[in-house]
Structure 1
Amino acid sequence: MRNRGLDSTDGRILRLLVENARASFRDLGEAVGLSAQAVTQRMRRMEASGVVRGYTVLLDPELEGTPWHAVVHVNTAIDVDAPTMEEGFASIPAVVEVLDLAGTIDYEVRVKGRTQAELYEAVQLIRLLPGVTSIETRIIMRRVLKR
């Protein structure tokens, strides 16, 4: 973390926030031996430098209205134009995340939809993108852990 200008106390604060993003600066300060004001200053510095890029709420997918989630592993032709492929993924509304991978799979694409039919349509759109040579889709049954 030192290459980002962070010290071990910053690291401890960040780990505590990952565990509980709603922790107060006072509680964080008590846990790391600092005042709430010192934690506030550190957090402002980490936000300004881009180490902390935002805060979010994770909703239950059923409350969110998109209970169907899948992971699609995509392989592409060796000469595929990556920016064009990635624009293709971005053009599909049900695509919520795309990871460029090293290894035997080129991309992992996360899709979600309100119905199984929406998920099916998204997978078909991915299959039709120029340069896609094969896909393998897995429906996500339940989330076991997310940190």
Structure 2
Amino acid sequence: MDQIDAKIAAILRNDARISYKEIAERIHLSANAVAERMRRMETAGVILGYHARLDPHALDLSLQAVIDVKMLPGVTAQAFEATLQTIPGVVEAVLMTGSFDYMVRVACANQEALVRLTENLRARGGVQDTNTRIMLRSLQIAAPLI
């Protein structure tokens, strides 16, 4: 990946729906050259997909929280991650160092939904302890790299 590819990637991080022509105008290439570079980045696995950022409030998911999860000894990360993928409301999970194994970000309609989600998580097995923190505000500093 060269500097031109990096510029294309930076533009796509902020707006995945931008046209080849608009990218080309910004970086002074032809639209065909941009399209070919993007195809190469897709084939190489640099570009994994194109996604929409959704407003959680518009989806009635205005309560967001982080659940720190400590797993029971012997539970594998793969098994726990497979379980998380079946629980509606789980947005992201990060394997961590420290006293908790995972930081799980969730989005719910209200506190009752958060309680149900947490109970569901604990009922699936493999969870020794949780600590839930409600997010008061979320600030995105830059477009996500991943």
Q: Give the TM-score normalised by the residue count of structure 1.
A: 0.82
Pair 1:131 & 2:126 matched: yes
SS of structure 1 residue aligned to 2:138 = coil
Q: 1:88–1:20: structure 2 CA closer, same or farther, 3 Å change rule?
A: closer
Q: CA RMSD in A?
A: 2.0
Aligned to 1:143, which of 133, 138, 146?
Answer: 138
Structure 1 unaligned blocks of 5 or more? 1-5
User: Contact conserved, 2:56 with 2:107, CA < 8 A, in 1?
Assistant: no
Secondary structure of the residue aligned to 1:99 is strand
Greater helix percent: which structure? 1
Distance 1:134 1:76 in 2: 7
> Which residue of 1 is the match for residue 20 of structure 2?
25
Q: Shift of the alpha carbon at 1:33?
A: 2.7
User: 2:104 aligned with 1:109, yes or no?
Assistant: yes
Rounded Cα–Cα distance in structure 2 between residues aligned with 1:13 and 1:87: 33
How far does residue 40 in structure 1 lie from its aligned partner after superposition? 1.0
**2:61 match:** 66
Instruction: Give the aligned partner of residue 80 of structure 2.
Output: 85
Distance 1:132 1:28 in 2: 46
Displaced runs of 4+ in structure 1, greater than 4 A? none
Q: Residue 75 of structure 1 contacts residue 105 of structure 1 at CA under 8 Å; is this kept in 2?
A: yes
Q: Residue 11 of structure 1 aligns with which residue?
A: 6
8 Å Cα contact 1:85-1:129 kept in structure 2: no
* Identity %, equivalent residues: 37
| TM-score using structure 2 length | 0.82
Among candidates 93, 99, 113, match of residue 118 of structure 1: 113
